[in-house]
Structure 1
Amino acid sequence: MQQPTNAATPGAASPGLGHRERLRTRAHAAGLGALPDYELLELYLFRSAPRGDTKQKAKALLARFGSLGAVLSASVADIKTVAGVGETTALDLKLVHELAQRIGREPAAKRTVISSWSALLAYVRVALQHEPREQFRVLFLDHKNQLILDEVMNQGTINHAPVYPREVVRRALELSASSVILVHNHPSGDPTPSQADIDVTRQVVEAARVLGVSVHDHLVVGRDGVVSFKSKGLM
């Protein structure tokens, strides 16, 4: 018997369904991993924009910031500069970024940081790889190299974040930290340490040494990877 010409192909979305429902159906059928970046972002935007064209918003966000990671790393104020994107959508996107950072932090926080090098690198890349401004953070460790706290010590411009060695050491003493790992990003994408990076690292190492605090490493994060001062023989 010949099937009706309007019979739906198994797994295909019905032609009568709206765009949003077709996208949801395709996501269920093929899996989220099969969606291109703009459709994945579009699907998420359904939550904060129950009506209207989220496809154009998703494409505009990616065009403005360049990638999914950069969209999520952008500030609320910068996200809101995209046409049609308001406070609710911007906060929803920042929520995803915060969740990703906390998930990335879990493996490092549950194990000895130094022996979990891959988890540490994954975490700092999630936290800083797409950060649009330079940020200097410190991972404070106890005597077993367990993470006590990851703290943003300073935020700066697109190419500079001030570092105060005394403040790093003072905070380490407040937290009873035995050692620290310094981390900062290069928004340019190139993680190669500058001479200024090398100089300030040496200042922090010396100030910490006097008070019995070890500096295990200084990691520079860029879109092109992560550079370790220790592995490069810079400290």
Structure 2
Amino acid sequence: MTDGKPQPETAEASPSEPDTAVRAPKPHFHGHRDRLRDRFRRNGGDGMEDYELLEMLLFRLLPRRDTKPVAKALIARFGSFSEVLSAPEHLLAETEGLGPTAIADLKVIHAAARRYGRDKLPGRPVLGSWSALLDYCRGQMAFESKEQFRILFLDKKNRLIADEVQQVGTVDHTPVYPREVIRRTLELSATAIILLHNHPSGDPTPSSADIQMTRAIIDIAQPLGVTVHDHIIIGRDGHASMKGLKLI
């Protein structure tokens, strides 16, 4: 009933009017994500560019953002997929679109990749597959921004006892103390070692200091029954084996 006064008109939603909350179009990059996923399912990761694989990693880290320009910017800045994962957090933070949470998640992925490589070595002769050893070394060290000196400690069957970073230095120098190297070898009851270090410059060519230090370690190791199998230098552009170069 009414009291005789004019009543305000009530607006009725037109049945043809779209419900924007329900029918809003998906962001343009969703179709692109679906196509990338389909390619990955069909061909795996080997057929994908570095930025595409990185883009797919970022799908879940940046669910509401177009990850293609972010991935391309990261590759342009750091050079490769592996170098992005290895990049220092403060430099990753300079990339537009990457916040602290996404950066932390990238570092978790990097740690998982390194752990995967490390876990493939125990129980198997390290020298049984040279290519696997080099892949492992490259994954651990090639893209570090500072020099690291690390040692693979081996038993009598050349199986890995431990992989330890002994020293971390600057961009072009790491202090190494031969007697400390041998002391740690004896502590672990290792009978052989492989010396490793990286050259952040990218060029793995051994320096004269590298050669002298390696020979000093060998001089101390030999009388104690410890074999130094090799000293491998890892760079972004490859590797150098001192044994292969007949420097030791």
Give the TM bin, normalised by the shorter chain.
Answer: 0.7 to 0.9
**Contact 2:151/2:163 (8 A) holds in 1:** yes
**Shift of residue 73, structure 1, vs aligned partner:** 1.3
1:203 and 1:106 mapped to 2: Cα distance? Answer: 31
Please say which of residues 64-73 and 192-201 is displaced more in the overlay: 64-73
Equivalent positions of 1:112-127 (< 5 A) are 112-127=125-140
Provide the C-alpha distance between the structure 1 equivalents of 2:82 and 2:129, rounded to a whole number of angstroms. Answer: 23
The answer as to whether partners of 1:191 and 1:220 remain within 8 angstroms in 2 is yes
Q: In the alignment, is residue 27 of structure 1 matched against residue 27 of structure 2?
A: no
Q: Counterpart of 2:127 in 1: which secondary structure?
A: coil
What is the CA–CA distance in structure 2 between the aligned matches of 1:185 and 1:165, rounded to whole Å?
18
* Distance in structure 2 (CA, Å) of the matches to 1:122 and 1:52: 33
Aligned partners of 2:243 and 2:158: how far apart in 1?
A: 16
Counterpart of 2:167? 154
Shift of residue 46, structure 1, vs aligned partner: 2.4
Indicate yes or no: 2:110 matched with 1:101: no
User: How many aligned residue pairs are there?
Assistant: 220
SS in 1 for 2:234: strand
**Residue 133 (structure 2) pairs with residue 131 (structure 1):** no
Pick the structure with greater CA Rg.
Answer: 2
| Range with bigger deviation, 106-115 or 198-207 | 106-115
Q: In structure 2, what residue type is equivalent to 1:145?
A: N
1:45 aligns with 2:58: yes
Q: What residue number does 2:207 align with?
A: 194
Cα-to-partner distance string for 1:67-106 (whole Å, 9 max, x where unaligned): 1111111122332233332222222212222222222234
What 5-or-longer segments of structure 1 have no aligned partner?
Answer: 1-15
1:144 is displaced (CA, Å) by: 1.3
In the TM superposition, residue 54 of structure 1 has moved relative to its aligned partner by 2.7
In the other structure, the counterpart of 1:221 is 234
Displacement of 1:35: 4.0
Contact residue 104 and residue 119 of structure 1 kept, 8 A: no
Once residues 105 and 19 of structure 1 are traced to their aligned partners in structure 2, the CA distance between those partners, rounded to angstroms, is 40
Amino acid at match of 2:75: L
Change in CA separation of 1:93 and 1:144 when aligned onto 2, cut-off 3 Å: same
Question: 1:168 corresponds to which letter in structure 2?
Answer: V
What percentage of residue pairs aligned between the two structures are identical? 54
Cα offsets for 1:94-127 (capped at 9, x unmatched): 2222222222234432311122222111111111
Q: Compared with structure 1, are the counterparts of its residues 173 and 145 closer, same or farther at alpha carbon in structure 2 (3 Å cutoff)?
A: same
In 1, distance between residues paired with 2:62 and 2:128? 44
Indicate if the aligned counterparts of 2:172 and 2:199 stay in contact, CA closer than 8 A: yes
